[in-house]
Amino acid sequence: MNLKTFERGIHPSYHKGLTSENRIEKAELPKQVIIPLRQHLGAPSDVIVKKGDLVQEGQMIGEAGGYVSAPVHASINGKVKDVVLHTHPGGGKSLAVIIDGDGTEKDWGLVTPSLSILDKFTGEELKGAIGEAGIVGMGGAAFPTYVKLSPPKERKIDTVILNGCECEPYLTADHRLMVEQASKVIIGLEAIKRSIGASKIFIGIEDNKKDAVSTLNQAAKSLSIEVEIVILETKYPQGAEKMLIKAVTGQVVPVGKLPLEVGVLVNNVGTTVAIYDALALGKPLIERVVTISGNGIKTPRNLLLRVGTSFAEVIEQCGGVISPEALSDTDTPPELEILNGGPMMGVAQSTIQVPVIKGTSGITLLTGKEIKPKKYSPCIKCSSCVTVCPMGLIPLKIADMGRLGMIDDLKSWDAMACIECGCCSFVCPSKRPLVQWIRVGKVKLRELG
Partner 1 sequence: MTEDINKTEKTELPKPEASALPPKKKAKPKAADAVPEVPGLVVSSSPHFLNTESVPGIMHNVILALLPACLVSIYFFRFDALILIVTCLFACLLTEYLCLKFRGKPIVIYDGSAAITGILLALTLPPSFPLYGAVIGSVFAIAIGKQIFGGLGLNIFNPALLGRAFLQATYPVLITTWTEPATIGTVDGVTAATPLALMKFEGIASDHLTLFFGNTAGSLGETSAVILLLGGLYLRYKGYINWKLPLGYLGAMALTGAFFYFLDSQKYPDPLFHLLTGGAMLGAWFMVTDMVTTPVTNLGQWIFAITAGIIAVIIRNLGGLPEGVMYSILLMNSFVPLLNRWTRPRVFGKGLTVETKGGTS
26 binds partner 1 per the rule CB under 8 A = no
Q: Whole-number minimum distance, CB 127 to partner 1, in Å? A: 21
Q: Whole-number minimum distance, CB 316 to partner 1, in Å? A: 4
Q: Whole-number minimum distance, CB 169 to partner 1, in Å? A: 6
Q: Which stretch in 54-62, 69-77, 114-122, 379-387 sits in contact with partner 1 by CB under 8 A?
A: 379-387
Contacts of 21 by beta carbon, 8 Å cutoff, 6+ apart: none
Q: Which stretch in 53-61, 227-235, 276-284, 314-322 sits in contact with partner 1 by CB under 8 A?
A: 314-322
Q: Residue count at the site for partner 1 (CB under 8 A)?
A: 94
Pairing of strands 200-206, 159-164: parallel
Residues 175-214 that bind partner 1 (CB under 8 A): none
426 binds partner 1 per the rule CB under 8 A = yes
Q: Are 169 and 343 in contact (CB under 8 A)?
A: yes
Q: Are 90 and 357 in contact (CB under 8 A)?
A: yes
Beta-carbon-side half-sphere exposure of residue 396 (alpha carbons within 13 Å): 17
Contacts of 128 by beta carbon, 8 Å cutoff, 6+ apart: none
Comparison of 213 and 385: residue with beta carbon closer to partner 1: 385
Question: For residue 46, which amino acid is it?
Answer: D
**Could you please report the per-residue DSSP string of 175-187?**
HHHHHH-HHHHHH
Q: Whole-number minimum distance, CB 100 to partner 1, in Å? A: 10
**Could you please report the per-residue DSSP string of 110-138?**
-----THHHHT--HHHHHHHHHHTT-B-T
Residue 190 carries which DSSP code? H
Comparison of 122 and 351: residue with beta carbon closer to partner 1: 351
380 binds partner 1 per the rule CB under 8 A = yes
3-state secondary structure of 197: coil
216 binds partner 1 per the rule CB under 8 A = no
Q: Are 65 and 40 in contact (CB under 8 A)?
A: no
Cα 158 to Cα 127: distance, rounded to the nearest angstrom? 16
Q: Are 286 and 57 in contact (CB under 8 A)?
A: yes
Q: Which stretch in 37-45, 209-217, 222-230, 319-327 sits in contact with partner 1 by CB under 8 A?
A: 319-327
Q: Whole-number minimum distance, CB 382 to partner 1, in Å? A: 4
Question: For residue 215, which amino acid is it?
Answer: T
- Categorise residue 428: left if φ over 0, alpha if ψ from -120 to 50, beta otherwise: beta
347 binds partner 1 per the rule CB under 8 A = yes
Choose, by CB under 8 A, the member of 372, 404, 448, 449 that binds partner 1.
372
Comparison of 54 and 326: residue with beta carbon closer to partner 1: 326
155 binds partner 1 per the rule CB under 8 A = yes
Residues 221-280 that bind partner 1 (CB under 8 A): 242, 246, 251-255, 257, 261-264
Comparison of 273 and 423: residue with beta carbon closer to partner 1: 423
Choose, by CB under 8 A, the member of 75, 159, 272, 293 that binds partner 1.
159
Phi, psi dihedral angles at 86 (to 5 degrees): -135, 150
Q: Whole-number minimum distance, CB 215 to partner 1, in Å? A: 29
Comparison of 92 and 109: residue with beta carbon closer to partner 1: 92
Q: Whole-number minimum distance, CB 10 to partner 1, in Å? A: 8
210-222 vs 182-196: helix axis angle to the nearest 10?
A: 60
Q: Whole-number minimum distance, CB 281 to partner 1, in Å? A: 30
Q: Whole-number minimum distance, CB 25 to partner 1, in Å? A: 18
Residues 59-88 that bind partner 1 (CB under 8 A): 87
- Closest to 36 in 3D by CA, of 383, 315, 358: 358
Residue 377 carries which DSSP code? -
5 binds partner 1 per the rule CB under 8 A = no
